[in-house]
Structures are given as C-alpha cells and as structure tokens.
Chains A and B, each alone.
Chain A
Amino acid sequence: MALTRREFTVASLMGVAAMSGLTVAVKAQGTKTIAVLFDGLYSEFWVAGIQIIRDDLEKRGFQIMEAISDQDDNKQFEQVRAAIAKKVDGIIIVQTDSNAVIPAIKAANAANIPMVHFNRPPAPSDAFSVAIQADNQKIAREAVLHSCKVAKESGRKHQAAILIGDLGDPNAIQRRDGFEEAVGQFPDAVEVVARVPTEWNADTAFAGLTNALQANPDISFVFTSSDFLIPQITQALKAADKWAPIGAENHVIFTGFDGFPAAYGLMNDKLMDACGVQNLFYETELAIQAILDLQAGKTVEKLLLDPGFAITQDNLEEKKEEMWGYVLWKKENAG
C-alpha cells in the first residue's frame, strides 16, 4: 500500500521537470514594487487609507504587493520576510504591535529596504525606520476648542462626555490629552462628567455612553476619539432624545475625530459641530516621499508628523476638499 521511496523520487523529479518547462515567469520589469502591509481593515479609516495609498502608488506607476496580517504579529513578520524575498523597493506597514514589529524592521534594515510606518509609530529601538503619524493631540485640541467656543457662546454651562479609545494605543491617549487641554481652558462653559472607556469596541462604547446618559441626563457635549463610533453615538443620543441639529433646544455639541465620510455627512446636516481630521492624503504623500528619499540616500527624520486640521462649521466649505471623508462621501453621493 505504501509508496516506495523510488516511486516517490521519480514523482518528485517529474514535478520539478514540469516546473522548469513552465518558466514563463511574469516578473515585473523595471518598475518599482512597494509592499503595503496593513494590520487589518477594521474601519473606513483603514479602508480609505489603503485605497489612497494604492491610488497614489498606481498614479506614480509603482507595483503594489499587498498583505493584511489580521492582527497576527507573526504573520506580519512572515509577510515582511516575503516582501524582502520578493526584493521590493520599500515597505509601508501598519503594525499590529509596536514592540513586535521591531524584528521586522531589523530584517528590512538588513536587506537595505526602507520601511515606513503608516499612522502608527513603533516602539523605540536601535532599528531604523520612518514613522508617519498624525499630531493627534493638536488636532483633537483644535477641534474641541471650536466646540468649547460654541458652548461658551450658548451662555450656559455644558456637561461633557468623552469616549476614550484603547489606553494601550498611544493615539487614543494623545487624543484624550488634546481634549482635556481644550476643555481645561473653558472651565466655565464645559464640565467633564463622563469619561467612557471604549477599548475601541463599538458595543462597549454604546453601553458606556448609554449608561453615562442615564447617570447624567444633562449631558450636552460629546467628544469621540474616533469617528468609527458615530453609529453607536447616534443611536445612544437618539434614545436619549438628544439627536437634533445645531440651533435646536436639545442639540448636543458633538465633536468627532478622524474625518470619516459619516462625519462629513453629519456636519453637512448640522448635527456635528467640529471634527479633527487626519490628513490621509498628506500622510500618504509623506510615506511615499520618505521611501523615495531613503532610496535616494537622503536623510529622513524618524518621525514625520501630519499636522492635520480641525474642520468646523465655520471652515467647512473652505476645507472640505482636504478632508478624506468628504472625498469619499462625494463619490458615494455623486449623481
């Protein structure tokens, strides 16, 4: 019943022979290949991010090698090694874990392939790579400051709630700090009564905000550390009969972060007052430029900041073209 060793050897050799007959290798000729390795496509932010990178790279005539690690550090490491084996010209990576990515950076260093971290910086180490990051704290502060001014102009004191992200994520901490800085400047107009931890989980966020609204029925100022929670916030505010446009008696001053299409939609409908926008177009530009610069032998800073901007009801028309969410929104609502 068992195959003899001889038969097996013959079969294997035949396999190899078949392969060498098939050397119609479709190897990319002359064009540069960039590996784009994402952790996951959990929200529109990442979907938009990878699409903008794709579009930009294609525009420049680059080939793309794409991979998603689905929150698996080891798989991502293997993907980096595959990219190295494929001799790509650069790697744009969104890592799962800021520590676990370091062996991957070292491997890229050893192969002399530039690596750029998109939107998430790695943990400090002696390995060299460039990180692109939004200036979360500044962007959050600016957006929330606008909302605080609105609050002050209303002439009454507002009770505020903040939906905080996962505290293991430095982005979440920076956004929270930006929020606290802004509201700290307006002690007369805004009092923070609820700090809702979401752990970047939509269900947790919904339950947390619902509880906060029950405990403090007078909440009239909400900041979310990410726009991906907008559906849950909408739901919770509707249930508390607080979902009304600007000007209405029961309007809640609402500040978002990220610049999702949904955020633009709400601003357009006068349901949101301000939103901190990560400038994905600019971040992509920075990332690709960094790879080109590194290949050209130029010196590049380890951290490149996206200053981002706050989009508000005041500057909506003038700034919306720079907001990635608007660009997507426009596409969806075209015609």
Chain B
Amino acid sequence: MTAVPPVDVERARARPTGHLRLARLVLSEYFTLVLCALYLAAVYPFVPEMLTAEVAANVLSDMMPLLVVAIGQTFVLVIAGIDLSVTAIISMAAVVGASVMTGTGGYLAGSPLAVPGAILAMLLVGLAIGAINGLSVTRLNMPSFIVTLATRMFFAGAAIWYTTFHSASSSIADLPAGFTAIAEGDVLGVPVTVLIAVAVAVAAHLTLSRSRLGRHIYAVGANPKAARISGVPVARTILITFMISGACAAITSVMYVSRMQTGSPIVGENILLDVIGAVVIGGTSLFGGKGKVLWTVFGVLFLVLLDTSMKLLGASLFAIFIIKGGVILLAAMIDTLRHRLMATR
C-alpha cells in the first residue's frame, strides 16, 4: 500500500492512434444506438420479422410507457438517488384512475369530466407518492433506496386493497372510450402515446440540459456539499426530482391503463429492473451527476428491441432471462470499459 506512488496524469495524455476511431465510437454518446444496430444485425437472420413495419410499430408503442417512466428515473439517478417505487406508483395510479372513471360505480361515471378527472387523479397520485419519497429523503435524511423500497411495498399492497373496494374481480374495467382512445388514437398518423412520450422527453431534456433546475440537479448529484455552498436549494431539488419521477410514472400508468383498458393493481409490477436497466444501459451513472434524456431513450430502445426479438423467437422464459441478463451484463461491461477509456483521455 504505502509504496505505490500516484499514477501520473501525463501517462494517459496521448494514446496510440490506431485505436482512435474505435475508441471514439465506443466513447460516443450514440454508442447505445450503435449497440442497437449491432444487435439488430445479429438477430435478423433468426427473426426476420424484426424489420417489418408492424414490428417496428410495436416496438415504438411498447417503448413509450417504459420510456416515460425511465425518464423520470433518470432524474432521480442523476441526483444519486434511486426510485424503486415507480412500479407501485404505476399500480396505484392505475386503480385510482380507473376507480374515478369506470362506468360501473366510478366516482365520475358518465360525467364528461370522467377522463380528465381520472388523469388528474393519476397525476396527483404520482406527485403525492413522489413527494412522500422526496420528503422522507430530505427531511428524515433516509437513503432513497430504503425509502422507495418501503413506499413500493406499501403502495403495491395499497393498490390491491384499494381495488377490493371498487371491483368484485381483481381489477377495474369498463373504462370510458375517451380514455382508451389514448392508446388507440393517433394524430395525423402519429400515435397519441408517442406524442405524449415525445412531449415528456423534450420537456425533460430541456429541463435537464438547459434549465436552472437541471443545473441544480446535476450539481446535487455530483457533490451535494459543494452544491449547498454554491447556493443550490439541495433539499428542494431532491424533492422535485422525486416528484418528477412520480409524475412520469403516473403518465406511464395512464398509457398502460388505456392500453389494457383495465385498472389492474399489479400493472407494471415487474418492470422495475427494465426501467433501471434501461437508464443505466443508456449510460446514466448510478452514482449520480451524470445522465441524459437522450441516453435513456437509447437505453429503452435497446431493451425493447431485445425483448421484442425474444418474444418473436418464442424463447422460453428462462432463456429470455438468461439472454437478457447476459446482454445487460455485456452492456454494463462495455460501459465500464468506456468509463476507463474516458478517464484516461
């Protein structure tokens, strides 16, 4: 230990030029997109359907809900937190929204306000659970992992319990056509869900990269002490990121509920690792201070491509888990390699 002098910075200054192009590709922020293309090329012989318009449309619409919730997660990861409760927010918002607008005993059944009322209720659920997470982290100084693990369990249970008051079966159906149109409708051929997701992505991108809040988020993620001394309202910034994550999860819930035409208390229960996996594959650091909306878009695309190809292959559940795990591990290894490369430049 004692006799290992620090490595010189100069050592890494210049590198052999032969690997320069490859290194540049690996270091580029489009790297995940390149991985997508490579993966597509690799599976194409086995699932030629991957390049049909129908599958492309499926990939696009499958991406949207995951993308929105992953964007919310990106915010939280950038402040070096984690939001495990997103799936519970999706479930809770789903049953609350459905209970508001369902034709069988909904609070606003038949009213023209049923659909906007339900969407508002869902967003409020997301913001409220996000606020609980954020306040617990900032006021009680608890690690976000524990806080959101707890709220995840609590609201996953609460969603099922809540359903029992509003439905005889295990989910709430009979939703108004105005709501299910969100999943089915389109504007000039562009699906409504895509429009919503693009709007969320653009707003999130501007917020993170261009707004004052965005600068605060990166600063808090990189070094909360320095951020505080620089006049960044650290606690408020953390609170807001959790509320953004909650709101994004609620929007995802709107998409799922509209797509399934059912408010189910277990909707989205299993997507947590997909959400965090997609963000991290995109390149956002689990240690905070680093992340971009565009990266998350690529990460989600990669994961959905992977999933779609597996579905088309008809691979067994075990095979899917093994392959998915393997590919994610590979992506993580490449990412580590990238960081090492980047650190030496």
Which residues of A pack against B, CB within 8 Å?
Answer: 1-3, 7-8, 11-12, 15-16, 18-19, 22-27, 35, 41, 64-68, 70-75, 77-79, 81-86, 96-100, 102-103, 123, 166, 168-170
Question: Is the CB–CB distance between A100 and B262 below 8 Å?
Answer: yes
Bound-state CA distance A78–B316 (Å) is 15
B261 proximal to A (CB < 8 A):
yes
Question: Is the CB–CB distance between B33 and A8 below 8 Å?
Answer: yes
Tell me which of B4-12, B127-135, B304-312 binds A: B304-312
Question: Is the CB–CB distance between B37 and A12 below 8 Å?
Answer: yes
- Distance (whole angstroms) from the CB of A22 to the closest CB of chain B: 5
Bound-state CA distance A23–B51 (Å) is 12
Contact among A23, A74, A78, A123 for B311, CB-based, below 8 A: A78
Question: Is the CB–CB distance between B41 and A18 below 8 Å?
Answer: yes
B169 proximal to A (CB < 8 A):
yes
Which 4 pairs show the lowest CB-CB distances between chains A and B?
Answer: A3-B28, A65-B314, A99-B173, A168-B170
Contact among A12, A27, A103, A168 for B261, CB-based, below 8 A: A103
Q: Closest chain B residue to A67 by CB distance?
A: B311
The count of A-to-B residue pairs whose CB atoms sit within 8 angstroms is: 150
Question: Is the CB–CB distance between A24 and B49 below 8 Å?
Answer: no
Contact among A26, A74, A97, A123 for B46, CB-based, below 8 A: A26
- Known contacts A25-B48, A27-B48; A2/B28 CB under 8 A: yes
- Distance (whole angstroms) from the CB of B275 to the closest CB of chain A: 13
| Best-buried of A27, A79, A169 by chain B (most CB within 10 Å) | A79
Question: Is the CB–CB distance between B311 and A97 below 8 Å?
Answer: no
- Distance (whole angstroms) from the CB of A95 to the closest CB of chain B: 11
B206 proximal to A (CB < 8 A):
no
| Best-buried of B52, B62, B315 by chain A (most CB within 10 Å) | B62
Residues of chain A with a CB closer than 8 A to B224's CB: none
Question: Is the CB–CB distance between A74 and B65 below 8 Å?
Answer: yes
Bound-state CA distance A24–B48 (Å) is 9
Bound-state CA distance A25–B25 (Å) is 30
Bound-state CA distance A1–B169 (Å) is 56
Question: Is the CB–CB distance between B267 and A3 below 8 Å?
Answer: no
B18 proximal to A (CB < 8 A):
no
Question: Is the CB–CB distance between A102 and B41 below 8 Å?
Answer: no
Q: Closest chain B residue to A63 by CB distance?
A: B314
Bound-state CA distance A132–B247 (Å) is 41
Q: Closest chain A residue to B342 by CB distance?
A: A1
0/1 string, B55-69, CB within 8 A of A gives 1: 100100010010000
Question: Is the CB–CB distance between A79 and B269 below 8 Å?
Answer: no
Residues of chain A with a CB closer than 8 A to B266's CB: 71-73, 96-97
Question: Is the CB–CB distance between B260 and A103 below 8 Å?
Answer: yes
> 7 A–B contact pairs at CB < 8 A?
A2-B28, A3-B25, A23-B45, A68-B317, A78-B58, A86-B312, A100-B264
